[in-house]
Amino acid sequence: MGVGFINEIKQREAVFPIDFKHMLILGETGSGKTTGIINPNLLYRMKEGHGILLFDYKGHYHMHVKALAKRAGRLNDVMIIGEPWGENINVLGLLNENGIEEVLKVVIEAGENNKYWENSAVNLALEILKIIKNFRLSGINDLEYNFKTLFEISSNAKRLKKFKESIIPLMLEKYDEFDEDECVYVNNIKEALETLDNIADDEELDSVIKGTRRLISDVLATLSKPISKIASCDFLNKEGIDPAEELDKGKIIIIKTNFLGETELSILVKAIFHKLHDRFVEFKTPVSIFIDEAQKVLNPKFELPIDILREIKVDVILSTQSIANLENKLGKLKTYELLANLTTKVYLKGQDSLIKKGFYRINDNDEVIKFKPLYINKNEYFEAEYEYQEFIKIREKLKFIHLPIQKGIFIYSTFLDEYTLIFEDISGKREYVKYITNDYITDCNKGKEFLNSLKKKIKKFDSYSDDFDFNELDGDELDIGVKNVIDTDDFEIELKFEDDEENGKKIKDIIKKLHNEQISDEEYIELARDLFAKTFLIGHEEIFVNNVNMDRVMNCIEKNDDILFKAFIKKLMNEIPF
């Protein structure tokens, strides 16, 4: 923490030789890490033709990066991830099986006393993903291989059971189409399903669904909770660019990460570095990776493979406020090991060096140098952002409901309402604009189709009552009703009761259980809803009416928000004698 000899004679642009031995920038907030060190080195590497990967943790620095890219004549090389008009990355697709296992073990922290939950959750995820992957390879099913699908399947016992039950029927549908090579994938699915059964068999899942046991439910929660947020980010779960390939082409990739927590950020960074590490061959284009607020990204359970990256011409530049920040996150030993691989350490004013603001020193050198800051004013980054958005044709990419005619830029923030942007003109005047994406249109069409299918399903019921209007249910009631009653799983029976022996057996089994006075209210209402769905669709509501205790059903549904189910039951009670 020495002061050193101060050289104030002349400001120097703090640009350092590119030796792929990696760099650490240390300095407190406001010390000049960005304007004094990062900006000039970023511009220098752009001019040298490097592929650039930069994590924008602040959420607005990407505009400055574009301004620097414009100075370097490379604005058209910019690719951004984390905005509605940006690129997508399938994070899970960047990892092999070992990488997935390592990532899951990093993010699933059940504690030393709960290793069973942790190991079971990891194994469950691996088997689910193995089935999905082999589904795709064999052409059985095109279920998306990403964190979103993994979360949807593992979020509760009912969804996991439905997934398991779909496997054999899907394989049978393609039975005659398998060639010899595809049989390998079929065998992989069979083995994964067997392992999946060992972790969560049907009896166990049924007991969780009925509320009589919790064991597998805890395993599912251990898995689904830590991946829920990254699963909700569409642009991290869609097939898109391969960062390694794009960097080798000399692209400048900016990933906005301000919306991610530390867990999600760890997954993202690990996946990208895993992909880079797996290249094994030197990049044709040198690559520089900039990570600000490094302590938020690094994780003590996995190490950045920076020693390997050096060999394939990838340089890593980390910045943080102090070494203490790294020690608090990684521990002293791992911090020491990290520092040993970061050959160039740049100290600015802060906890690790008693240097005046506006100065820096390198490693243990005594000389303290006054840096020349590289500022970017608002007009410059506004023009760069405008030119970039014109280049990617943002006004064509997004279907705007109201499109301002004046010159300006569109700004995205996670704090805005969905499908809303800020439009800012050159004077700084701002207004909100609404847009529609292709995904939005697709979702709307799916919603319309679903509502139409619901109306068809209740058509028979409408014949019992002229005054019941499905459209009278408001949005909240419809949403609750759809989620709690009109589950599509319940409406898969299309054959008439008298022509469907298997369905008849299921209905008789439900009736037998309903007549057991020992079952709980929770189980009773689930059975009643199941019977209602099966009999209502095939036009035999009288079976439901004659075999349930209506008072008990009404008491049960009064305890929750089964609004649509309640409406149906009331109409049955009013219109059908029993």
User: Is the pLDDT confidence value at 355 over 80?
Assistant: yes
Topology of the domain comprising 5-86+243-371: Rossmann fold (3.40.50)
User: Is the pLDDT confidence value at 286 over 80?
Assistant: yes
Pick 65 or 282 by higher pLDDT: 65
User: What's residue 467's pLDDT?
Assistant: 43
* Percent of the chain at pLDDT exceeding 90: 33
Both tokens of 279, joined, read 């290249």
Confidence band for 491, pLDDT divided at 50, 70 and 90:
very low
Both tokens of 301, joined, read 């359970």
User: Is the pLDDT confidence value at 249 over 80?
Assistant: yes
State the Cα–Cα distance between residues 12 and 15, nearest whole angstrom: 9
Pick 232 or 446 by higher pLDDT: 232
Distance of alpha carbon 69 from the chain centroid: 29
Mean pLDDT confidence for 397-414: 84
CB 203 within 8 A of CB 216: no
Query: Which of 350, 276, 367, 359 has its CA nearest to residue 314?
Result: 276
331: left (phi over 0), alpha (psi -120 to 50) or beta: left
Query: Which of 414, 418, 85 has its CA nearest to residue 264?
Result: 414
User: What's residue 532's pLDDT?
Assistant: 75
* Domain residue ranges in the chain: 5-86+243-371, 95-235, 393-436, 463-575
Rounded to two decimals, the pTM is 0.73
Query: Which of 246, 319, 316 has its CA nearest to residue 51?
Result: 246
State the Cα–Cα distance between residues 276 and 285, nearest whole angstrom: 13
Question: CB atoms < 10 A from the CB of 89, how many?
Answer: 27
Query: Which of 422, 77, 424, 41 has its CA nearest to residue 254?
Result: 77
State the Cα–Cα distance between residues 332 and 77, nearest whole angstrom: 39
- pLDDT tens digit sequence for 46-86: 999 999 999 998 888 999 999 999 999 999 999 999 898 99
Confidence band for 470, pLDDT divided at 50, 70 and 90:
very low
* Percent of the chain at pLDDT exceeding 70: 78
CB 261 within 8 A of CB 299: no
